[in-house]
Amino acid sequence: MSPATLKRPLRLVDLELDLEVFNGPFDLLLTLILREEVDLLEVDLADVVISYIDHLEARGELDLEAATEFLVLITSLLELKSRLMLPGEEIEEIELDPGEAATELLARLLDAHRYRTAAEHLSGLLREQSGHRFRSAPLPVSLRRASLPEASAVYDPGRLAQAIGQLLVLPPEVDVRHIPVPKVTVAERLSVLRSLLRRGAFNFDEAVRDADRVTVAVTLFSLLELYKQGELTWSQEQPFGTIEVRPATGPRAESAAA
C-alpha cells in the first residue's frame, strides 16, 4: 500500500452549531463535552445531526472523509449519552471522565481509519486479481449430491429440533423498570367519582386535584363511562371551562343505583 494512504489526514467536520445549550463550532462542542463543561445529557444530538444535514445541503458537496468522521463521532456520542441515561451496573464505569471519553472517541476514530485503510488494501488486491478468472462450470448432477439408494443416516435429527427451539426463544425484553409507570386504574377512578357523587354535585377539578396527567385522563374516561351507564350527567359552559357533574335523575339512574 502506498504511504500516502497512511498519511491522509483525519478531519473533523467544520460545522457551526446553534443549539439551545451551545452556540459555536462542532469541535468546540466536542471539547466542552469531553471537558464536562457542557453536559452531554443536555445536548440535543438530533439537532446536531439536523444542523449537519443543513450544512451539507448548503455546501452542495459531500466530503466523504469528513462525513465519516462526523458519523463515527456522533454515533459514539449517542452511545455515550444513551449509556448515561440508562441506569444499571454500567453507570459506575462511565462517569464521563473527560480523559477516558476522549480516549474512547479517539480509539473509535483511529479504528474507523484503520479499517478504511485496510479496505483500500483489499480493494487493491481484488483489482490485481481481476485478470485471473476461474472456471465455473457445473459438475454433472450425479457428482453433486449423495445418491438416494446409497445414502445413509449421517445427520442428527436432534439438530433440527434444537435449531427450531433456538428460533422460538424470544429475545429478552428491554428493561424499562427505571421509567416510572404511573399506575392508575379505571376501577379506582370510578370509585372516586362515585364517592363524590354520593355527596351530590361537584366539579371535575375537585376529582383530579393534584393528580398527574395520566390520572386526569383516566378520570375523564371514567366520567364518560359513568355518563354512558347513566349514573351522572355533566355540563361545561365553554371550552376549558369548569365541568359541572351531577348525579343523574331518572329511570336509568335508578337501575344503575340498584
Partner 1 sequence: MSLTLAATLEALLFLSPEPLDADALAAAAEVEIDEVRAALDTLVTRYEQEDRGLVLRELAGGWTLSSHPEAEEAARNLFARPRTPALTPAQAETLAIIAYLQPVSRPEIARIRGVNAESAAATLLERGLVEESGRSQFGAVLYRTTDLFLRLFGLRSLEELPPISAFDPSPELEEELRERLLRAGEARVAG
**Residue whose CB is less far from partner 1, 29 or 248:** 29
Pick one of 50, 95, 114, 185: the residue that binds partner 1 (CB under 8 A): 114
- Is the CB of residue 84 less than 8 Å from the CB of residue 56? no
- Binding flag, residue 62, partner 1 (CB under 8 A): no
Hey, what amino acid is at 134?
A: F
What grid cell was written down for 27?
469541535
Binding residues among 183-222 for partner 1 as defined by CB under 8 A: none
- Binding flag, residue 240, partner 1 (CB under 8 A): no
Pick one of 118, 214, 224, 257: the residue that binds partner 1 (CB under 8 A): 118
**Residue whose CB is less far from partner 1, 72 or 196:** 72
Pick one of 20, 61, 92, 156: the residue that binds partner 1 (CB under 8 A): 156
Q: How far is the CB of 147 from partner 1 (least distance, A)?
A: 8
- Binding flag, residue 102, partner 1 (CB under 8 A): yes
- Binding flag, residue 86, partner 1 (CB under 8 A): no
Residues 6+ apart with CB under 8 A from 78: 45
- Binding flag, residue 29, partner 1 (CB under 8 A): yes
Binding mask 9-28 for partner 1 (x = CB under 8 A): xx-x-----------xx-xx
- Binding flag, residue 174, partner 1 (CB under 8 A): yes
Stretch that binds partner 1, among 169-177, 200-208, 227-235, 250-258 (CB under 8 A): 169-177
**Residue whose CB is less far from partner 1, 73 or 245:** 73
